[in-house]
């Protein structure tokens, strides 16, 4: 049973990756992917459109899933997701502000978004902290922070609509026209964030036992919580900079992984990373082909799947 689960979780992102490469307005067969495409246009489409877009989908899936998995342990909240609690909005607000000032200056946008995400996280803690963290307060504080920062984003987008391309697409989160440039922006953060997260698996496990037990076991709870929140913020911020406010990935994926593999973070984290890559690649393929030639932003599909999932968790966990 365990082997089957393991194989399925490993196979899912591979399947998603190839589905994403094969499907689209131009048919490319799987044989062509392995043995090369002779047609020049098709080759261009594969190499410069579908491949980078698929890689961005993989990285975004990994980042958002890990970010959600961390936040759920750190905030002791099954409903924590970078989008729902406003961390993505914080990243978005600062990221867009820098884009306005400095133009599409790639290198500066992500660090700015990271600062925004950290400030949003700090604000949530500040609002939710009262003799420790209570799950329900985190969600309510998160909703408020999200609404507040979201209003800021909307205002910026309205005032400077000429400067931001595809503002609407950005608000729902989508992968259209993501290119190698975006892969380059995302990749270093994904690698660093993933490694850091995997190293913290045992700390996350201990944190799940409650603050007092964790402290008794020698964990410096506040330090660990701060560092892990920073990692989660960095993962979410880098994703937001590339695909906009894509929600619910960080909610759906960690919970599904938990159902399949259990709550031991040493298994849960790699599982969530793999499943996250699968979910975003498959969802994006589906979203852009279902109403062809109209391309649906993947964020819409994720919200349609995610909102009922959120309600299901709300009924079950809180």
By CB under 8 A, tell whether 202 contacts another protein: yes
Min. distance of Cβ 198 from another protein in angstroms? 12
E strand or H helix at 216: helix 211-216
d(CA 316, CA 318): 6
| Closer Cβ to another protein, 15 or 199, answer by number | 199
- Residue 32 within binding range of another protein, rule CB under 8 A: no
Number of chain positions touching another protein (CB under 8 A): 20
* Beta carbon nearer to another protein, 71 or 239: 71
DSSP 49: I
**Angle ∠(177,160,91) on CA atoms, nearest 5:** 65
| Stretch of 83-91, 111-119, 153-161, 208-216 contacting another protein, by CB under 8 A | 208-216
Contact region with another protein (CB under 8 A), list: 47-55, 153-161, 258-266, 279-287: 258-266
Q: Which of 39, 104, 184, 212 binds another protein (CB under 8 A)?
A: 212
User: CA 110 to CA 184: how far, in whole Å?
Assistant: 12
Closest to another protein by CB, 154 or 222: 222
Among 23, 32, 176, 205, binds another protein (CB under 8 A): 205
- In order, the DSSP letters of 22-47 are H-SSS---HHHHHH---SHHHHHIII
Q: How far is the CB of 218 from another protein (least distance, A)?
A: 3
Question: Nearest distance from residue 203's CB to another protein, in Å?
Answer: 9
Part in contact with another protein (CB under 8 A); list of ranges 41-49, 114-122, 197-205, 295-303: 197-205
Query: Among 141-149, 187-195, 215-223, 284-292, which window interacts with another protein (CB under 8 A)?
Result: 215-223
> To the nearest whole angstrom, how small is the minimum distance from the Cβ of residue 124 to another protein?
20
- Provide the terminal-to-terminal Cα distance of the chain, rounded to the nearest Å: 30
Residue 264 touching another protein (CB under 8 A): yes
Q: Is the Cβ of residue 211 or residue 313 nearer to another protein in the bound state? A: 211
Which of these, 138, 31, 32, lies nearest to 87 by C-alpha position? 138
CB-CB contact of 94 with 116 (8 Å): yes
Q: How far apart are CA 213 and CA 220, in angstroms?
A: 11
Interface pick for another protein out of 70, 74, 206, 282 (rule CB under 8 A): 206
Stretch that binds another protein, among 9-17, 83-91, 166-174, 262-270 (CB under 8 A): 262-270
Omega cis (within 30) before 281:
no
- Which of 225, 242, 224 is CA-nearest to residue 64? 242
Buried b (16+ CB within 10 A) or exposed e, 251-287: bbbbbbbbeebeeebebbbbbbbbbbbbbbbbbbbeb
Footprint on this chain of another protein (rule: CB under 8 A): 76, 199, 202, 205-206, 208-213, 215-220, 262-264
């Amino acid at each position: 049973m365990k082997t089957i689960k393991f194989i399925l979780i490993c196979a899912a992102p591979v399947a998603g990756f190839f589905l994403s490469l094969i499907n689209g307005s131009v048919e490319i067969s799987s044989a062509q992917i392995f043995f090369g495409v002779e047609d020049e246009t098709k080759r261009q489409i594969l190499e410069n459109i579908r491949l980078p877009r698929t890689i961005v989908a993989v990285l975004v899936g990994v980042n958002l899933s890990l970010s959600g998995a961390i936040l759920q342990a750190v905030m002791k909240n099954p409903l924590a997701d970078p989008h729902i609690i406003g961390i993505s909005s914080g990243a978005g607000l600062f990221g867009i502000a820098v884009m306005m000032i400095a133009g599409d200056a790639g290198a500066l946008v992500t660090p700015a978004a990271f600062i925004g995400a950290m400030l949003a996280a700090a604000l949530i803690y500040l609002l939710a902290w009262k003799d420790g963290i209570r799950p329900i307060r985190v969600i309510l504080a998160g909703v408020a922070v999200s609404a507040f920062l979201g209003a800021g984003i909307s205002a910026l987008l309205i005032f400077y609509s000429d400067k931001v391309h595809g503002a609407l697409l950005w608000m729902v989160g989508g992968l259209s026209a993501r290119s190698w440039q975006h892969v380059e922006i995302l990749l270093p953060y994904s690698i660093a964030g993933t490694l850091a997260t995997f190293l913290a698996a045992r700390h996350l496990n201990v944190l799940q036992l409650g603050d007092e037990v964790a402290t008794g076991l020698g964990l410096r709870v506040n330090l660990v919580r701060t560092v892990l929140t920073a990692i989660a913020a960095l993962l979410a911020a880098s994703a937001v900079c590339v695909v906009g406010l894509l929600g619910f990935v960080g909610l759906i994926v960690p919970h599904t992984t938990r159902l399949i593999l259990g709550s031991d973070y040493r298994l849960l984290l790699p599982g969530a990373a793999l499943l996250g890559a699968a979910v975003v690649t498959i969802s994006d393929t589906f979203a852009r082909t279902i109403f062809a030639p109209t391309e649906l932003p993947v964020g819409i599909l994720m919200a349609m799947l995610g909102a009922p999932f959120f309600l299901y968790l709300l009924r079950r966990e809180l």
